[in-house]
Amino acid sequence: MRDRIMSEGMSGLTAKSDDLRRKPFAAKAWLKAIEPTSRIDAEPRWPFADFVEDRARRQPQRLTLPANRRSFTYAELGTRINQYARWARDLGIRAGNTLCLMMPNRPDYIACWLGISSLDGTAALVNTRLVGLSLAHRIETVRCSCRQG
């Protein structure tokens, strides 16, 4: 009896290990997914906007920001980032400046944020629900060079 239980138990393990050899581990899939970020780790001063630009050259039609109403490919996101960077530059945003950014949550929010950061500016992300004294405190606390919303 014990031999039969042991042999069934072992055959079950063998079958499972065969399945594991045939199917990639979830961890392997995750490692492949985060592989593009390894360059960011190696170059901590590499702005994320540059990462998107790199992806726009390599995989322009790949979807990057899926959303309900509007989604962006890497190429579209790169174009929007550049448009927002020009807009911020025209406002006078330079390296070290801070812009208070108050926008609804949508793909353009990320594009605007990355456009500002591509100029080495800082986007102070302001919650759209702040009003009155809370909003004034947030703006004062981050010492914005420019306010736009």
pLDDT confidence of residue 88: 92
The Cα 113–Cα 63 span in angstroms is 19
Q: Which residue has the higher pLDDT, 78 or 23?
A: 78
The Cα 2–Cα 112 span in angstroms is 68
Q: Which residues on adjacent β-strands are paired with residue 124? A: 100
> Looking up tokens 């990639």, which residue turns up?
24
Give tens-digit pLDDT for 1-12.
444 444 444 444
Range 44-148: architecture per CATH: 3-Layer(aba) Sandwich (3.40)
Give tens-digit pLDDT for 43-88.
666 677 788 888 889 999 988 877 777 788 899 999 999 999 999 9
Helices 107-118 and 74-91, packing angle to 10 deg: 60
Give tens-digit pLDDT for 90-128.
988 889 888 888 888 888 888 999 999 889 888 888 888
Q: Which residues on adjacent β-strands are paired with residue 148? A: 101
pLDDT confidence of residue 6: 42
pLDDT band (50, 70, 90) for residue 137: confident
The Cα 85–Cα 26 span in angstroms is 38
pLDDT confidence of residue 83: 96
Residue 31 has pLDDT above 80, yes or no: no
As to burial, measured by CB atoms within 10 angstroms (0-12 exposed, 13-18 middle, 19+ buried), residue 140 is: exposed
Q: Which residue has the higher pLDDT, 57 or 40?
A: 57
The residue extents of the domains of the chain are 44-148
CB 53 within 8 A of CB 79: no
Phi, then psi, of 108 in degrees rounded to 5: -65, -25
